[in-house]
Chains A and B, each alone.
Chain A
């Protein structure tokens, strides 16, 4: 039985990847289980400068998931290289996925270039859902040209596979994915969270201090499967599927839709052992659905 997949030229023991923002820089989960059982993981969204993020409350519950507006809290790329990566090295011996955010094209290029030089980094996952401060605050990921510009700028200064992580809050996800592919992206990951909002009835105010936030969890799974399906059919580069994945069955469904690997996000926050459990459960589910090698079913939906 084969769980291994090849993601942009790097072999993964299995396709399960904790998603950025739900797994910190990994070492805290290493206290709970051996995180080397993972395919890899995508570390906390890292920016050029340190960020505290948004005011609290940053979290709201929803049916089928949660809304977060953490606001990319992270210590900044220099501290990640100096402090977080050495700590990770002690507990994780596989290439890690470096998740990068930015507020200008130059920010993205700078941060990616710094992380590209780190031996532990296997892939760069570029989150283009952030607002472009030089472009009127519109998210890079909502416009094919802006997403392509970020992709080109990052590709020009890096050597490792560049995976562009797309926002689902767009009219036509396929055109954005294709623009990134044409600009040189080595892979596409999707979906980031869906923009949502909750209101506190007693206070008649938004639950989240930032008013809106990103909805994630099982409620967005069907949307994610649909978008992965649409994008995987339209591009030739590998696609990482994510959005509400919580079980080995969900992993198989994402792969049938066209995902080469699968990220698991919100599930880690309610069950810190979720990814380990999914990996251990995959052989049973593969047997049940008569799957010999997971890599055989990528895009296998008829």
Chain B
């Protein structure tokens, strides 16, 4: 974990409520896709945990949805403004067990961490299939970005306004895959847990206090004991997940 000041290079709307922010700063503490950063905002007490979408030396991309006052404040920030970030938080995706043709499944604002993961898996020469699930066409983002990495992309919309009509599990049925990695709302993760035929990893969300394992605010029970979503998670192996 590192604390450092980042400078906003760009902050643009991808949809009505989803924004992409690119920042420059020290990214050396980020070691795996699926990790997150915790952002201090002026006038707010708790930091805002946001997953890392993409990173390289000195450059960080986050994609976030406006869901409350803090993320609204972020959406109004301009290039040149600075943010205090804790970086390198959480346990990201383990790339070792994914096999040759993994499927990555992102639902809504769960899509961004899949991008950094897809990029790394493509660099390893994997055949990466991606399913991106949204409610409707207007909410879709990053389809082209995944395609540009050379991933086979399927988009699903619940209302059928674009791509496959239905849920991500409807698109999953037709795919052959060696492993799965997912991030999205809990009902989607639960459905995937049942629908997938291989091992996999899923990323979970919870309201956090500190984001680095001190406050026990985001604890969950797993088959391998109590875990902190912010520290041992947010990514968990399918085999250890214990649903409520």
Contact = CB atoms under 8 A, between A and B. Distances in A.
Do A and B belong to a common assembly?
yes
Interface of A: 21-24, 28-29, 31-32, 44, 52-53, 56-66, 68, 70, 73, 207, 217-218, 266, 268-273
A70 B46 contact: no
B215 A68 contact: yes
B206 A57 contact: yes
Nearest to B44: A61
Given A53-B219, A73-B226, A269-B214, A59 B208 contact: yes
B45 A65 contact: yes
Residue among B206, B210, B220 with max Cβ neighbours from chain A (10 Å): B210
A272 B45 contact: no
Band of interface residues on B? 20 to 34
Contacts of B40: 270
Given A269-B46, A272-B210, A59 B221 contact: no
Nearest to B207: A57
B163 interface: no
Nearest to B2: A32
B218 interface: yes
Interface string B86-127: 100000000000000000000000000000000000000000
Nearest to B244: A55
B218 A61 contact: no
A61 B213 CA distance: 18
A270 B216 contact: no
A59 B217 contact: yes
A283 B192 CA distance: 57
Interface string B1-27: 101000000000000000000000000
A29 B1 CA distance: 11
A70 B217 contact: yes
Contacts of A266: 45
Given A32-B1, A270-B47, A272-B210, A59 B218 contact: yes
Nearest to B70: A61
A24 B45 contact: no
Given A68-B217, A269-B210, A217 B45 contact: yes
B214 A29 contact: yes
B215 A56 contact: no
Nearest to A60: B207
A270 B214 contact: no
Given A269-B209, A273-B3, A62 B217 contact: no
Nearest to B68: A61
Contacts of A53: 216, 219
A24 B45 CA distance: 20
A272 B214 contact: yes
A257 B210 CA distance: 29
A43 to B, nearest CB: 12
B212 interface: yes
Given A59-B46, A61-B45, A68 B209 contact: yes
